[in-house]
């Protein structure tokens, strides 16, 4: 029974657990080294204005190519960085590099940057970001911070304060993965978001699932009535793009519109004429 095996586990040598612990210890060690050696870099995925077809900004997405293992999913190493207490260091490094990269883009192109749930409990987050932006001389109005709905609900008080501070600095805030958490819509109305990002799980199926279509429509209506821009995440087909334009969604992001790319490739994309986004009404 479950009870018996639980009692056993205390005394018994479990080789699988030992391997797991060793692997985990090695992973932590590699992660610390990678952070120290600047091996974790942001890639950039276009955010496209669905009215004009132009790239309006890029979202920075952390990439770690772990020696001998290949790319580690950011959700995994971000969580470990939180657990071993190095998320601030990692995030500061990524934001610094992203600002330096974004300075080479046209200054109308914005930079979106993800803030991890744990960072939202840091009351000094606002000051840290301000200091960093000053150091690299990056204009706050070009920066947009993405906060997930779930992180927000767990840290509502600190998050409210941080959002307030960010607005004072001219930094915009988007609500990431909207629809996956359980936020109370009246809570949302108290928070000053500039943008909501509809989670890709809705975009994935809204054309074939009537209920999801209704939800997407009401998220778009909510966004426009609160004066917020709405971005659809995970746009993978021309069909989805056409439907979103039809529904009046303001922004899109997804493999169909552009995949995450290195800083060098991103610069090339921006410098190539007619390669920006898609051709509106084509």
Which H or E run includes 205?
helix 200-205
Q: How many CB atoms lie within 10 A of CB 98?
A: 26
Minimum distance from CB of 82 to ligand C2E (Å)? 9
Which listed residue (94, 198, 220, 243) binds ligand C2E by CB under 6 A?
94
E strands along 67-138, which residues? 70-72, 110-114
Taking CB under 5 A as the rule, does residue 177 contact Mg ion?
Answer: yes
Q: Would you give the binding string for ligand C2E spanning residues 2-41, x where CB under 6 A is met?
A: ----------------------------------------
Which listed residue (114, 116, 119, 263) binds Mg ion by CB under 5 A?
114
Tracing tokens 């960093």 back to the chain, one arrives at 132
Distance CA(150)–CA(178), nearest Å, equals: 9
Residues from 118 through 147 that contact Mg ion (CB under 5 A): 146
101 binds, among Mg ion, ligand C2E, none (CB under 5 to 8 A by kind): none
Residues from 142 through 171 that contact ligand C2E (CB under 6 A): 146
Residue with Cβ nearer ligand C2E (62 or 245): 62
Beta-carbon contacts of residue 251 (< 8 Å; ≥ 6 apart): 47, 48, 49, 50, 56, 195, 229, 230, 231, 232
CB 178 within 8 A of CB 148: no
Taking CB under 6 A as the rule, does residue 254 contact ligand C2E?
Answer: yes
Which listed residue (110, 114, 231, 263) binds ligand C2E by CB under 6 A?
114
Taking CB under 6 A as the rule, does residue 179 contact ligand C2E?
Answer: no
Which H or E run includes 231?
strand 229-232
Minimum distance from CB of 2 to ligand C2E (Å)? 34
Structure token pair of residue 109: 């192109």
Distance CA(276)–CA(209), nearest Å, equals: 31
71 binds, among Mg ion, ligand C2E, none (CB under 5 to 8 A by kind): none
- Compute CA distances 26 → 15, 80, 200, whole Å: 16, 12, 33
# binding residues, ligand C2E (CB under 6 A): 24
Q: What is the DSSP letter of 110?
A: E
CA angle (119, 195, 270) in 5-degree steps: 90
Give the binding site for ligand C2E (CB under 6 A): 45, 60-62, 73-75, 78, 91, 94, 114-116, 146, 176-177, 200, 234-236, 253-255, 260
């Amino acid at each position: 029974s479950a009870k018996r095996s639980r009692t056993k586990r205390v005394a018994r040598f479990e080789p699988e657990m030992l391997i797991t612990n060793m692997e985990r210890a090695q992973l932590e060690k590699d992660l610390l080294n990678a952070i120290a050696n600047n091996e974790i870099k942001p890639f950039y995925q276009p955010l496209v204005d669905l009215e004009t077809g132009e790239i309006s900004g890029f979202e920075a997405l952390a990439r770690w190519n772990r020696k001998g293992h290949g790319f580690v999913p950011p959700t995994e190493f971000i969580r470990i960085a939180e657990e071993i207490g190095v998320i601030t260091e990692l995030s500061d490094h990524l934001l610094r590099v992203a600002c330096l990269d974004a300075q080479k883009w046209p200054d109308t192109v914005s930079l979106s940057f993800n803030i991890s749930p744990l960072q939202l409990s840091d009351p000094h987050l606002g000051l840290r970001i301000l200091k960093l932006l000053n150091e690299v001389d990056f204009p706050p109005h070009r920066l947009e911070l993405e906060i997930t709905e779930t992180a927000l609900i767990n840290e509502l008080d600190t998050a409210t304060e941080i959002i307030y501070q960010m607005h004072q600095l001219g930094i915009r805030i988007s609500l990431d993965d909207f629809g996956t958490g359980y936020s109370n819509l009246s809570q949302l109305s108290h928070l000053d978001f500039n943008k909501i990002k509809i989670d890709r799980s809705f975009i994935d199926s809204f054309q074939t699932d009537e209920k999801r279509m209704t939800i997407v429509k009401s998220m778009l209506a909510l966004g426009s009535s609160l004066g917020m821009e709405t971005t659809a995440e995970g746009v993978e087909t021309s069909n989805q793009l056409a439907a979103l334009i039809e529904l009046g969604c303001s922004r899109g992001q997804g493999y169909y519109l552009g995949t995450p790319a290195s800083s060098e490739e991103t610069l090339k994309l921006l410098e190539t004429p007619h390669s920006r986004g898609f051709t509106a009404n084509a």
